[in-house]
Amino acid sequence: MLKSSNYDKFPVIKAQLNECITGWDTIAQEILAAASTVQGKPVIAIECYPGVNTSEIRNGLLDTIKQAHIIDTATAFKSEEEINKMVYPYVTDDPVFGYITPLALKDFFDAEKVARLISAIESSPNNLVLVIGAGASLIAEQPALLIYADMPRWEIQLRFRKQAVPNLGVSNNSASFSYLYKRAFFVDWRVCDRQKKALKNKIDFWLDTTKADEPKLATAAAINQALASAVQQPFRVVPFFDPGPWGGQWLKEEFDLDRSEKNFAWGFDCVPEENSLLIQFKNDVFELPSINLVFDHPQELLGEKVYRAFGDEFPIRFDFLDTMQGGNLSLQVHPLMEYIREKFGMGYTQDESYYFLEAADDAFVYLGLKENIVPEKMIAGLESAQAGNGPFEAEQYVEKWPIKKHDHILIPAGTVHCSGANSVVLEISATPYIFTFKLWDWGRMGLDGKPRPISIAHGKNVIQWQRTTEWTKENLVNKFEPITEGDGWREERTGLSTTSFIETRRHWFTKTVQHNTHGVVNVLNLIEGREAIVESPLNAFEPFIIHYAETFIVPAAVGAYTITPHGESSGKQCATIKASVRTNNLKNYRIN
Ligand SMILES: O=P(O)(O)OC[C@H]1O[C@](O)(CO)[C@@H](O)[C@@H]1O
């Protein structure tokens, strides 16, 4: 009998305060009621993250709040020409990479236009003023009510694909997805995250418009309470899945995804910058970006030492790469730390590892170079293939390793690599995720029918040519080391490489395993077994059930916890892989 999928695609965190309402009419009534308690002419600011459909908010509220004077913040932006010129150094002409901007939201506004709007608010004959859009909190600096309309990055990307939303301050909806994404990644999201953090203690309500025409309004008190309790218990972020040119069929079957998609390449199960959190109220579920939890509770979530190095960035990423009945990823390399800092303004680099959840008999990984290759010859071969002169002979230059289920391959930045067809990788990595220098894409097209951008010019600057067959075998392939064992369990170290700040431990167990965060965030995945239960020895949190291949986060503040096979896996062998941060050598990672 085929086993059914038990992977939970919509994990929730329970709210304790039931303060969430839905529907534009109800929300408008709530806003009116809150505004009526204010003396004089209330000004309400609805600060919007990029990607929010401001006309949906305006139209939704106006039906009920007819008497309001509506101010659209877009009327105070600098001209598109000025904005484009201002952001250009950070967007650049590179097809994929830009430079992290230091700009602030204020820089997008024209001071004279803002002054005019402020006097329009003051002289408005209406008895209620609604300021809506990005920068509303700059125009109405001391509003009677501050509402924050947020948007998770994954939903913004889906809107970019539909050309439904533009970049910050401009109306470039019809630009290519890659341009919109690059500009958002290097500019808009940085700018608006800074503003969001600055508003942290001033927000009265959060507005969720992630699903069109299903608005939800929750009090800041209820959201704050839910986030404060989230960092005292294990939790999951909401995963999302995306097809790709090399995507496979495993995620679709295993996680019961949309069968009509031709494949799924990626499953993003723990990328808090892009995932969201679902807060379960009595009758409604409120969605918000999971990065808000990192911004609000970095110390409890990450732990003091990790926070001191990384600030409010979540440094560990888990995702899936599915090539079952699919193809090879691109042959690629990631930038060294100095390179990513200098060229792209990122604080730390994409050190990675591949944990193989599944592998067909013919599965393999390209990793490291062959002995005695000539770098100039390899680069010439890549450039020639790129110029269309026949395929790059990867196997002449790059080592190929057979792979089986539960292998763990370490990929420090600078190592040439590529996961081959017919496997499922649980990628356990440092968080940066777009800094892939593709060297060769096997002559195939991207999903849009066009070749994907190749970055040999960057790649050749970072390839570590001494990482050849023997070195790779010695340092990067299955570096398993037994640590300790007890009644019904054993623990091994599996990685990552000594140059990475991430440590991974694997536990095989048929009985309870004791864990402790020791003040450092843990990220785990159930890599074997259908079901396990995570419990607090002190009953500090409610028992938390996890299923096969689900990634979950245990905040640093949790301290002691246990994991035991559960339900249909009771008494059977399970395994988890746990990533944490090595805190003894974080000097190099100090980015805040
Ligand atoms: O360039 P490709 O083939 O899409 O591969 C990109 C993927 O490769 C990785 O760098 C893994 O090596 C992932 O982090 C990334 O999503």
Both structure tokens of 268: 């993003």
Q: Is the CB of 352 under 6 A from ligand 1?
A: yes
What is the tens place of the pLDDT at every residue in 399-442? Answer: 999 999 999 999 999 999 999 999 999 999 999 989 999 999 99
Question: What pLDDT does 1 receive?
Answer: 43
Q: Whose CA is nearest to atom 12 of ligand 1?
A: 418
pLDDT value at 343 more than 80: yes
* Distance from the alpha carbon of residue 337 to the mean position of ligand 1, in angstroms: 18
460-464: list long-range contacts, CB under 8 Å, 24+ apart.
Answer: 460/375, 460/379, 461/339, 462/333, 462/334, 462/335, 462/336, 462/339, 462/413, 462/414, 462/437, 463/333, 463/369, 463/375, 463/414, 463/416, 464/336, 464/412, 464/414, 464/415
Q: Which of 318, 321, 496 to mutate to test the pocket of ligand 1 (most atoms within 8 A of CB)?
A: 321
From the centroid of its chain, how far is CA 44?
31
State which of 340, 433, 436 you would mutate to test the pocket of ligand 1, scoring each by most atoms of that ligand within 8 A of its C-beta.
436
Q: What is the pLDDT of residue 591?
A: 59
Q: Tokens 């970095």 identify what position? A: 298
How many angstroms separate the alpha carbon of residue 133 from the centre of ligand 1? 35
Cβ partners under 8 Å of residue 280, min gap 6: 12, 13, 14, 15
Q: Is the pLDDT of residue 586 over 80?
A: no
Is the CB of 436 inside a 6 Å radius of any atom of ligand 1? yes
Q: What is the pLDDT of residue 589?
A: 64
**Ligand 1 proximity of 455 Cβ (cutoff 6 Å):** no
274-311 pLDDT, tens digit each: 999 999 999 999 999 999 999 999 999 999 999 999 99
- The Cα 189–Cα 92 span in angstroms is 16
**Six token digits for residue 450:** 């066009």
Largest distance between two CA atoms of the chain:
80
Region of 100 on the Ramachandran plot (φ > 0 left; ψ -120 to 50 alpha; else beta): beta
DSSP codes joined into one string, 23-47: SHHHHHHHHHHHHHTSSSS-EEEEE
- With tokens 């990685």, the residue in question is 495
In single-letter form, the type of residue at position 43 comes to V
Tell me which amino acid residue 220 is: A
Identify whether 103 is preceded by a cis peptide bond (ω within 30 of 0).
Answer: no
Q: Whose CA is nearest to atom 10 of ligand 1?
A: 436
Ligand 1 within 6 A of 353 CB?
Answer: no
Which atom of ligand 1 lies nearest, measured to the CA of 429?
Answer: 14
Taking alpha carbons only, the member of 365, 321, 328, 366 closest to residue 444 is 328
For tokens 């939890």, name the residue.
293
CA end-to-end distance (rounded Å), the chain: 52
Pairing outcome for strands 408-411 and 352-359: antiparallel
How far away, in angstroms, is 436 Cα from ligand 1 center? 6
Q: Can you tell me the distance from the alpha carbon of 468 to that of 461, in angstroms, rounded to the nearest whole number?
A: 17
User: What is the rounded distance in angstroms from the CA atom of residue 364 to the CA atom of residue 260?
Assistant: 28
Nearest atom (ligand 1) to Cα of 246: 3
Could you tell me the two tokens for 182? 């690059």
The average confidence (pLDDT) of the chain is: 96
Evaluate if residue 494 carries a pLDDT over 60.
yes
Which domains occur in the chain, in start order? 24-214 (3.40.50.300), 481-589 (2.60.120.10)
Phi, psi at 496, each rounded to 5°: -85, -165
Tokens of 38: 């204010």
Whole-number Å distance, alpha carbon 366 to ligand 1 midpoint, is: 13
Average confidence (pLDDT) over 188-203: 96
Report whether pLDDT(176) > 50.
yes
Neighbours of 519 (CB within 10 A): 17
Closest CA relative to residue 105, chosen from 71, 77, 145: 77
pTM recorded for the entire structure: 0.96
Report the pLDDT averaged over residues 561-578.
98
- Contact between 316 and 308 under an 8 Å Cβ cutoff? The reply is no
Closest CA to 295 of 223, 234, 349: 223
Closest residue (by CA) to atom 1 of ligand 1?
Answer: 330
Q: Which of 31-35, 503-507, 522-526 has the lowest mean pLDDT?
A: 31-35
Cα 441 from Cα 112, distance rounded (Å): 50
